[in-house]
Structure formats: C-alpha cells, structure tokens
Amino acid sequence: MSRRTRLTPEQRREQLLDLGIRLFAHHSLDEISIDLVAREAGISRGLLYHYFGDKMAFREAVVRRAADALVAQTAPPSTGEPVERLLASMTAYVDFVDANYEGYVSMVRGAASDPVLREIYDEAFGALGARIFEAAPSFVPDSPAARLLVRGWQAMSEELVLSWKADPAGFSREDLLGVLAGSLPVLLQMLPSGEL
C-alpha cells in the first residue's frame, strides 16, 4: 500500500499554480473556473479558496506566473550578434504564444479592462523592451526616441504573432520570424540622425 505524501501549504499552492498554468495554455482566463481547477486538482473548492481567497486572486497569480515564464523563456542568448540574439528571443516568444495561445490572448484582452492584469502585462512588456537596450547597447541606442520606437515595434510584433496564429495568411513560421527580427533594425535606421 503506497503512502500519500502530505504537501506543505507552499507546495500545494505551487501545485495549484502549475495546474493553472497548464490550463492557461488551452483556456481563456474566464474559462479557468474554481470548479474546473478543483476538479482537475482533485480538491474541494474550499481548499482553492483557502490558498487564494477567490477566483480573481487565483487568476492574477496564474497570469503573474505566466508573465514571469514569458520573460524568462524569451531571454536572449548572452553572446552572439545582436540580430541573432533578437531572432533567438523572438523565436522563444513565438513558441510561448503558440503553446499558450488561448491564455495569452485573454491576458492581452484582460489587460485592457482589468487594472491588476494591466499592471502585470505592463511589467512583462516593459521587461521585454528593456532587455533590448540592455542586451546590445551598440545595436539600439538608449534614447526617448529609440524607446518609443521599440515600444511600437513590440506592439506590432505582438499583434503580428497573434494574428498569424489565428490565420497565417500564407506566412510560414520562418517568414514570420524573419519579419519580426528583421523589422527592428530597419526601424532603427529611421530614427532621427541625432538619436543613433
């Protein structure tokens, strides 16, 4: 007869968050109900409330975990040419969106109306943009104009990846990655001469 291992409260909380992340990959945030999580985890609804308080707190914890995973997964290699490093990072980004499409779309949409989700989204978006300046300062000059351009490029990249995932429109994955990694250097050339 096997003995069940009793989890500590922190281990149980982590287990529930891991389950939330697995559900996030294929469900919108609204579809990740307390009932679904409790059923999938084999626990009572009350236990989930015990660890997170309510559905919103659980949802926010799952989104924060997903945003942290996105930032970690898309970290560029520490060496290599700037465009190669950017391509590696954008490849990881496309992989993340591909693997977590339903949840990622609902996070982006939820950020438009939920202040807490907006804060989490903005932190992740900011971290992804800041690393471009940190990773290769000679490639991307750090100036207000360059930051504005990179932010716009990020928004374009996100929309392009989400739209491509919904309908590739004849673009292969390699075509998409080429546009994503190749467009930033082209845009940087358009900065006012004093910004380079």
Contact 74, 92 (CB under 8 A): yes
The reply to whether 17 falls in a domain is no
Q: Is 193 exposed, middle or buried (0-12, 13-18, 19+ CB in 10 A)?
A: exposed
Average pLDDT of span 35-54: 88
Contact 117, 111 (CB under 8 A): yes
Average pLDDT of span 117-137: 91
Residue 135 pLDDT class (50, 70, 90 cuts): confident
Q: How high is the pLDDT of residue 69? A: 94
Nearest CA to 110 out of 34, 18, 24 is that of 24
* pLDDT tens digits along 79-109: 889 889 999 999 999 999 999 999 899 899 8
Q: How high is the pLDDT of residue 196? A: 52
The reply to whether 113 falls in a domain is yes
The reply to whether 151 falls in a domain is yes
3-state SS, 95-161, equals HHHHHCHHHHHHHHHHHCCCHHHHHHHHHHHHHHHHHHHHHCCCCCCCCHHHHHHHHHHHHHHHHHH
pLDDT over 90 at 12, yes or no: no
The reply to whether 21 falls in a domain is no
The reply to whether 27 falls in a domain is no
The reply to whether 162 falls in a domain is yes
Q: How high is the pLDDT of residue 10? A: 87
Task: Write out the residue range of the structural domain in which residue 162 sits.
Answer: 62-191
Residue 6 pLDDT class (50, 70, 90 cuts): confident
Q: How high is the pLDDT of residue 28? A: 85
pTM (two decimals): 0.86
pLDDT over 90 at 9, yes or no: no
pLDDT over 90 at 29, yes or no: no
Average pLDDT of span 185-193: 88
The reply to whether 184 falls in a domain is yes
Q: How high is the pLDDT of residue 100? A: 92
Provide the CATH number for the domain around residue 81. Answer: 1.10.357.10
Residue 168 pLDDT class (50, 70, 90 cuts): very high
> Looking at the 3D structure of the chain, how many domains does it have?
1
The reply to whether 157 falls in a domain is yes
